[in-house]
Amino acid sequence: MSTVAQKSLYELHAEHREWLNKLAFYSDEIKYMTTRLQEVTVKNTGHDVLAQAEHFQNQFIIQRNHIDNLNHEIKEQEKLIESNINHNPVATDRRKADDHVEERDAMMQFEKIFNELRREYLAWLGKVM
- The residue range of the domain holding 33 is 7-86+97-128
pLDDT over 70 percentage in the chain: 98
35 falls within a domain: yes
Share of the chain above pLDDT 90, in %: 73
Residue 91 belongs to a domain: no
CA 80/CA 86 separation, integer angstroms: 10
Residue 1, in any domain of the structure: no
Domains contained in the chain, number: 1
Reported confidence tier of residue 81, pLDDT bands at 50, 70, 90: confident
Q: Is residue 36 part of a domain?
A: yes
Q: Is residue 3 very low, low, confident or very high in pLDDT (cuts 50, 70, 90)?
A: low
In terms of residues, how long is the chain?
129
> Is 21 domain-assigned?
yes
pTM of the model: 0.89
User: Given this model, what pLDDT does residue 14 score?
Assistant: 93
Q: Which residues pair with 82 in a beta bridge?
A: none
Evaluate whether residue 121 is within a structural domain: yes
Domain presence at residue 92: no
